[in-house]
Structure 1
Amino acid sequence: MPIEIVDHTRFDLQHEPPTAARPITMSGRDLKAAAVLAPHVHSWGQFTYALRGVMRADANHSSWIVPWQRAIWIPAGVVHSVTVLENTHLRPMRVYAGRAPFAGNECKILELSPLLRELLTALEQHERDAAPQREHLLMEMILDEIPRCAVRPVRVPLPADKRLKALCDALIAEPGAGLTLAGWAGQVGASERTLARLFERELGMGFTQWRQQVRLAHAAPLIARGMPLSQVAAELGYASQAAFSAMFKKTFGCSPTSFFGLQQ
């Protein structure tokens, strides 16, 4: 699938930035699978969610998979890029830096609460010139509700070393690949011992743990599309649905069915 580089600067210039008086501005855009927004930075914070589709966001030496029922918070001043994994209808919401719902420069994946969904819909449908006090109240309620949403720890740290990055990029592209660390060593031109040392030094975890993080991150969009858990497990390289569910529960403290609110 050919990659399409999308010019974000033109899009930003076409839309009003947030201000202290109007701390939130919203817009929408459709992006096709394989579209890429090259690394860029904003003077405002960005709360981005999708009405449909799946995207990958890279920032702060980490990668996040963001399916449609999640949102990502990217603080002002943080360089980030976006890769569209499935045709996506994005809702980037710009937040005035002085009204950021979270302190610091850490990105977060959030689960949209039912209330936040309704508030975002109401703000999107609000006519700019009609009842400005209502628009102000909606913005204040949104900024109050965002930090109350559940944070989902699906973060995949990324390395700087070129050899390790080649391995990590390949596994992110194909998380079900069954190669051992020794097998990857032959692919990327580094010994197994060197790669093991790099994983611990640059990513703070071993190869197996990092691969599990990647697989769990990729599970979200697959499950969101309605793929049966047995098929998700097979596609991500697990021996069985039970093995996948056990690893999921170990990481998130609950089963995939509970996490995603699926019907048993």
Structure 2
Amino acid sequence: MTVQLGFSDFDPDDCPVAATAVRMDVLDNENETPIHRHRKGQLVLALRGGITCDVPGTRWIVPPQSGVWIPGGLEHSNKATANAMICLLFVEPDSAALPERCCTLSISPMVREMILRLAVMPRHYDPDSHCGRLARVLLDELTVQPVEDLSLPISGNPKLQLIADALTRTPADRSSLAGWADRVAMSERSLSRLVERETGLTFGRWRQQIHLMVALRELSGGAMVHQVAATLGYGSTTAFITMFKKALGKSPAKYFQERSEQASVAD
């Protein structure tokens, strides 16, 4: 399917090469591509700003210096924050030993630069050319990039979709499980069981994961830590930092400092 990139339309399946890349800038408003699929696998790379990718059953967050790998043939949609910078790498099936499931990859500065280089080279190239050799090395390196877990289990159940969308829009909403059960016309026990069955998490843990996804999106877009803490309804910035550190092993400042340093090395 043709991918709408804001400045042009591009059908990755029209390129019979092993890998091709496209770089795009998102302007003042958020940008969202509708649900689509294509034969080639796709790596969504965040150079600046935040991106979320929805695939059946899961929502993925793509902070700066990371990428979400989406295997070929899988339905998906992408949404980027305002002023984001994105690079999409499309990979022909069986061209590399990449995962058969969606995952988040931590992208090294070297791989990042190779993808950016490929994005400015001809999309139709001879496999034995300089561009073809670059693509082969890039794909080899891509197969050994570390995997991160920055996903949110979502469900096709319309009631859980309603709750997830509402909490994403207004994450400061601290309604109890009983309150949400009333909103979706279920008993508290039935909703609790539904969340655990569909997501593998308790309602509290699921909501916390939504908060983490929103936090990463907002921080990636340039929001300050205290602003994000307020957006999420935390009583103090310290409480938010504690949640973030438990989830990702480091404070927001440390997490983004390390990614900024990686980008500086690559630049």
TM category, shorter: 0.7 to 0.9
Q: Which residue of 1 aligns with 2:245?
A: 249
What are the equivalent positions in structure 2 for 1:118-133 lying under 5 Å apart?
A: 118-126=113-121, 133=129
Q: Which has the higher contact order (CA 8 A, sep 6+)?
A: 2
Tell me the distance in 2 between the aligned counterparts of 1:248 and 1:223: 12
TM-score for both structures, normalised by structure 1: 0.83
* Percent identity over paired residues: 33
Tell me the distance in 2 between the aligned counterparts of 1:257 and 1:140: 36
Cα offsets for 1:160-189 (capped at 9, x unmatched): 222222111111222222211122222222
Tell me the distance in 2 between the aligned counterparts of 1:242 and 1:164: 30
What are the equivalent positions in structure 2 for 1:1-264 lying under 5 Å apart?
A: 8=3, 11-13=9-11, 17-19=14-16, 22-31=17-26, 33-104=29-100, 106-126=101-121, 133-261=129-257
How many residues are treated as equivalent by the alignment? 254
Offset of 1:118 from its aligned partner?
1.6
Identify the range of structure 1 (228-237 vs 156-165) with the bigger mean alpha-carbon deviation: 228-237
Gaps of 5+ in 1: 1-5
TM-score for both structures, normalised by structure 2: 0.83
Summarize the Cα distance change of 1:67–1:103 in structure 2 as closer, same or farther, 3 Å threshold.
Answer: closer
Contact 2:125 2:131 in 1 (8 A): no
Root-mean-square deviation over aligned CA pairs = 2.8
Contact 2:2 2:10 in 1 (8 A): no
Contact 2:51 2:217 in 1 (8 A): no
Contact 2:13 2:39 in 1 (8 A): no
Summarize the Cα distance change of 1:30–1:121 in structure 2 as closer, same or farther, 3 Å threshold.
Answer: closer
Gaps of 5+ in 2: 261-267
Contact 1:175 1:215 in 2 (8 A): yes
Tell me the distance in 2 between the aligned counterparts of 1:246 and 1:69: 23
- Secondary structure at 2:148's aligned position in 1? coil
Contact 2:118 2:134 in 1 (8 A): yes
- Secondary structure at 2:171's aligned position in 1? coil
